[in-house]
C-alpha cells in the first residue's frame, strides 16, 4: 500500500481519495442547494396553492376579524350569563356517556355560528352553553369560572 506524508502525518492514497470524494459530494450538495440549480418538489404546486390578489378571507363571513363584528353577549360577564349567546344551540349529553368520544356528534355546523374554535367543511360548530362550560372547565379538571 502506498503512503504519502501530508501535514506531518502518514496517510494512504486510498484514504486520501476517499476523503476527496466525500468532500466533493458534500461540497456539491452545499453549493448546488444555495445556487438554485436543483429545485425541491414543492415548486410545482406553487401556482395551484396561491390565492388571487383580490381574495379576502372575511368576505361573506357574518362575523369576521376584518369587519370587527362582535358576538352579542350580555353586558355583565358573570358566570351566569357569559354563555347566554349560546342558549339556542342544542347538543348531546354533557359529559359524554361511557364509550362515546365525539363531543360534537349531535351539534349543527353552520357558517352562521362563526366565529367558533371548532369547525368542519360545513361551517363552525354551534356549541351549546353546556358544552362550552364543560370545555371551559376542561372536563371537570378546572374550577375557575372566568372565561380564560
Taking residues 93-121, report their average pLDDT.
Answer: 79
Please state whether the predicted TM-score (pTM) of the whole model is above 0.85: no
Residue 115 has pLDDT above 90, yes or no: no
C-alpha cell at 112: 352562521
Confidence of residue 23 (pLDDT cuts 50, 70, 90): very high
* Spacing of C-alpha 48 from chain mean position: 20
Residue 127 has pLDDT above 70, yes or no: yes
Query: Domain residues of the chain, as ranges?
Result: 3-48, 55-148
Alpha carbon distance 29, 134 (integer Å): 54
Alpha carbon distance 86, 70 (integer Å): 14
Over residues 54-80, the pLDDT tens digits come to 666 666 666 655 555 555 544 555 555
Enumerate long-range contacts of 5-8, CB under 8 Å, 24 or more apart: none
Amino acid at each position: 500500500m502506498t503512503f504519502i506524508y501530508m501535514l506531518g502525518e502518514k496517510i494512504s492514497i486510498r484514504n486520501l481519495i476517499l476523503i476527496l470524494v466525500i468532500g466533493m459530494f458534500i461540497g456539491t450538495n452545499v453549493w448546488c442547494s444555495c445556487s438554485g440549480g436543483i429545485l425541491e418538489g414543492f415548486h410545482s404546486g406553487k401556482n395551484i396553492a396561491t390565492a388571487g390578489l383580490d381574495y379576502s378571507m372575511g368576505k361573506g363571513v357574518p362575523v369576521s376579524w376584518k369587519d370587527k363584528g362582535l358576538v352579542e353577549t350580555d353586558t355583565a360577564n358573570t358566570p351566569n350569563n357569559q354563555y347566554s349567546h349560546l342558549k339556542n344551540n342544542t347538543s348531546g349529553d354533557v359529559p359524554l356517556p361511557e364509550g362515546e368520544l365525539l363531543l360534537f356528534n349531535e351539534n349543527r355546523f353552520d357558517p352562521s355560528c362563526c366565529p367558533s374554535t371548532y369547525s368542519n367543511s360545513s361551517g363552525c360548530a354551534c356549541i351549546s352553553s353546556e358544552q362550552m362550560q364543560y370545555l371551559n372547565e376542561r372536563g371537570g379538571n378546572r374550577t375557575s369560572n372566568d372565561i380564560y
